[in-house]
Amino acid sequence: MKSFRMSMLLVVTVALLAGAVYAQTPADKTSQTMIEAMRKDIRTQKQSLVDQGMGLEAAQKAQFWSIYNGYQAELDKIGDQRVANIKMYADNFDKMTDTIADQLAVKALDIEAQRTALKKKYYGVFKEKMGARVAARFLQVESLLGAALEVQLGSSIPILQ
């Protein structure tokens, strides 16, 4: 478990850097390419953390990853919406209006609801295919990683004035 926590710290650091770079660079093609590269690195590190956190027997891993890869693909689409919302925030930070702030907030809440619905959906899939203990562990690991990334990303985005 100690190596799991240490590995999480590394992922969180990369996430913090990705958020800081995004928040401080203009929304051009270069910064977008950089963000995508960092997202790919985070996904690779996340896979290792999930593997450690799940602690599955070799016989269970193939089934778990075939399900999890579907989850991650759907989560990536939600992540694309999050990146777009952060981009809109950055693009409008200095000229924020109540209308734009409302659009950003409503979209952020929608994204959060989508992530919750996705975790619920895949909890059911894991429970059906692998049992409730594995499904609950999936939720624990995914929630822990998600919370750590949210704290780090949130700390790198300036608060609206």
Cα 31 to Cα 64: distance, rounded to the nearest angstrom: 34
Query: What confidence score (pLDDT) does residue 102 get?
Result: 98
Structure tokens at 31: 């910064």
Amino acid identity, residue 144?
L
Query: What confidence score (pLDDT) does residue 30 get?
Result: 53
User: Taking the model in full, what pTM does it have?
Assistant: 0.78
Structural domain boundaries of the chain?
Answer: 2-155
Cα 147 to Cα 161: distance, rounded to the nearest angstrom: 24
The distance from CA 118 to its chain's CA centroid, rounded to whole angstroms, is: 12
Cα 23 to Cα 156: distance, rounded to the nearest angstrom: 7
The distance from CA 133 to its chain's CA centroid, rounded to whole angstroms, is: 23
Structure tokens at 132: 């409730």
Query: What confidence score (pLDDT) does residue 128 get?
Result: 98
Alpha helix ranges (H) inside 25-97: 29-54, 58-92
Cα 71 to Cα 65: distance, rounded to the nearest angstrom: 9
What are the per-10-residue average pLDDT scores of the chain (161 residues)? 51 48 48 68 85 94 97 95 93 95 98 98 98 97 90 82 84
Query: What confidence score (pLDDT) does residue 45 get?
Result: 87
Query: What confidence score (pLDDT) does residue 100 get?
Result: 97
Quick check: 15 and 151 in contact, CB under 8 A? no
